[in-house]
Structure 1
Amino acid sequence: MLDYLFAALLGVIEGITEWLPISSTGHLILADEFIHMSTSDAFKEMFDVVIQFGAILAVVVIFWSKLWPFRINRDACGSGVSGLVDRYCRKDVWDMWFHVLVAIVPSAVIGLPLDDWMTEHLHNPPVVSAMLILYGVFFLLMESTVGKRRPQVRRIGQINYRMALFIGLFQFLALVPGTSRSGATILGAMLIGCSRTVAAEFTFFLAVPTMAGASLVKVVKFLADGGGFSGSEVGILLTGCAVAFAVSMLCIRFLMNYVKKHNFKVFGWYRIGLGALVLAYFYLLKPAL
């Protein structure tokens, strides 16, 4: 029963930190210091990634009208409610998805082969704290410079392939834990003139195939290495996903409303403060315990 409680708590952490630019992976790694499931290490490693499915589903639900690439022909069914999907596509949505696919390339081509190496060498508190502080400083610098300029890209449709690839390179940088995938892509998008709203939306859309792919890879590796799911582990995984979905629904809506009137400085200061606390805990407090 305690494992279900831990799964729910990790789902809350995932649902909040996946979308705010403060690093979900970094927070989950730090949470491992205090939350100890009775499951195997292999399952726990897979769990930390696969609960992203719940977070992804929240994006799909909230932005469904902007993500579905087919036009619904309601006139074709008379007074029916459901309508029929006709053969005409929504070109603007298809264009957006093609741009998203381009943005995925750096992480897929370069990042995927390095996944095991990064997990072994970079998933540790010193790296997490360093990235939290470094990108916190980046956010403060960006808001003090680029953030004060008038954005040139105010609609998702204005993002071209070159811009998408540039944002994708920033997503690749986020493979280092503590960086924040959403934080890095928002930084990249704003550097090329995107408004905060467009930067956040494109980040959410980019997350759908990126995180789904990462989760699928983790599951395949887990099964290929001889892993399996007991009944309780399935329940633990579903609990984490369900909580991550519910919290993500709230968090995504909060962030989209927040960026309409505010900048990202508060997240920069949060990152710096948390990074400092992590260093203090692991190098001062923990050795003394």
Structure 2
Amino acid sequence: MNLIEAIILAIIEGITEYLPVSSTGHMIIASSFMRIATDDFTKLFTIVIQLGAILSVVVLYWKRFFQSIDFYFKLAIAFIPAVVLGLLLNDVIDNLLESPITVAISLIIGGFILLKVDDWFKANEEFDAENPTAHTEISYLTALKIGFFQCLAMIPGTSRSGASIVGGMTQKINRKTAAEFSFFLAVPTMLGATLKKSYDYYKAGFELSADQVNYLIVGNIVAFIVALIAIKSFIDYLSKKGFKLFGYYRIFFGIVLLFIHFFVYKLTI
């Protein structure tokens, strides 16, 4: 990996982490095209730069992180399924991460779901004068259910944010509330993934060079700045327009990837 490749991957991370289009899938494909996907440092880099994206959520919503202990309990409950299933299915997940076909198919399937999700949960966007918080309150049980939906993102190409947002909407939460809770849930989820990947990297005996340390620093800074812009833009767009554009994009991108893989250039990860 060189500095330009590190910046490109960081930009992709910042743009896609909080959009329902799968940041992991995009970085897998991008690194494959750059022919650095099989490099151990690349795999570490794509996880660690999530810290920059995490920080963007903390900065944008810092008041929410100091509002109550209840907020943290709900995040902890939602985080539990990812911890348990992540540890149990670690080897399976690693194998799936090496399949560009899995990414493409997941993108397409998720795209068709996003085309319909606004219609399925239209009632969630309606204001209830008798119960003004009807579609904005998240209970402990709802948090746990969202956590299970988030686990679907262990399949590359599914999208962590997409799965958790749709999961929230199945619990009668409006789009904006579901999206913001998905952002908050990303903090412990991605922090945990970063710590585990870093530990695995260290345990395997790998040592970072001075250049690699610099790439990680630059990558986190770029991911942070880009994610700040992406989050604000996404919330504004989602509140007004819904998910259809993202659905069309996923389907188009998935089909293009399959075409490239089978007819142009065999993607290897």
- Same fold judged by TM-score > 0.5? yes
Structure with the greater alpha carbon radius of gyration: 1
Q: Which residue of 1 aligns with 2:201?
A: 222
Question: Which amino acid in 2 is paired with 1:55?
Answer: A
* Native 8 Å contact 2:101 2:258 kept in 1: yes
Aligned sequence identity (%) = 41
Confirm or deny: 8 A CA contact 1:15 1:55 kept in the other structure: yes
Matches within 5 A, 1:217-256: 217-256=196-235
Tell me, yes or no, if the aligned pair for 2:124 and 2:169 is still in contact at 8 Å: no
Deviation at 1:111, TM superposition (A): 1.7
Corresponding pairs, count: 260
- Tell me the TM-score normalized by structure 1: 0.86
> The residue matched to 1:194 in structure 2 has which SS?
coil
Please give the TM-score of this superposition, normalised by the length of structure 2: 0.92
| 1: CA distance, partners of 2:38 / 2:101 | 24
Q: Which residue of 1 is the match for residue 16 of structure 2? A: 17
Report the Cα offset of residue 140 of structure 1: 1.3
Q: How does 1:55-204 map to 2 (within 5 A)?
A: 55-68=53-66, 90=67, 93-147=68-122, 149-150=124-125, 153-155=134-136, 158-204=137-183
How do 1:29-68 and structure 2 match up within 5 A?
A: 29-37=28-36, 41-68=39-66
Secondary structure at 1:21 match in 2: coil
Q: CA deviation at 1:154?
A: 3.6
Moved more, 121-130 or 59-68: 121-130
- Partner of 2:32, secondary structure, is coil
CA 1:225–1:174 in 2, change beyond 3 Å: closer, same or farther? same
Decide which moves more: 259-268 or 212-221: 259-268
Question: Alpha-carbon deviations, 1:94-123, whole Å to 9, x = none?
Answer: 212111111111110112232233112443
Q: 1:265 aligns with which of 230, 239, 244?
A: 244
**Residues 1:153 and 1:212: Cα distance change in structure 2 (over 3 Å):** farther
- Secondary structure, counterpart of 2:241 in structure 1: coil
Aligned-residue offset at 1:280: 0.6
Q: Is the 8 A contact 1:153 1:198 kept in 2?
A: no
Aligned with 2:255: secondary structure? Answer: helix
Contact 2:14 2:230 in 1 (8 A): yes
Q: Distance in 1 between matches of 2:51 and 2:134?
A: 29
Structure 2 unpaired stretches of 5+? 127-132
Question: Is the deviation greater in 105-114 or in 224-233?
Answer: 105-114
Alpha-carbon distance between aligned partners in 1 of 2:159 and 2:86, rounded to the nearest angstrom: 15
Give the letter for the 1:140 counterpart: L
Q: CA deviation at 1:42?
A: 1.5
Q: Alpha-carbon deviations, 1:155-191, whole Å to 9, x = none?
A: 3xx2111101110011011111000000000110111
Stretches of structure 1 lacking an aligned partner (at least 5 in a row): 69-89
Asked if the contact 1:147–1:190 (Cα under 8 Å) also holds between the matched residues in 2, the reply is: no
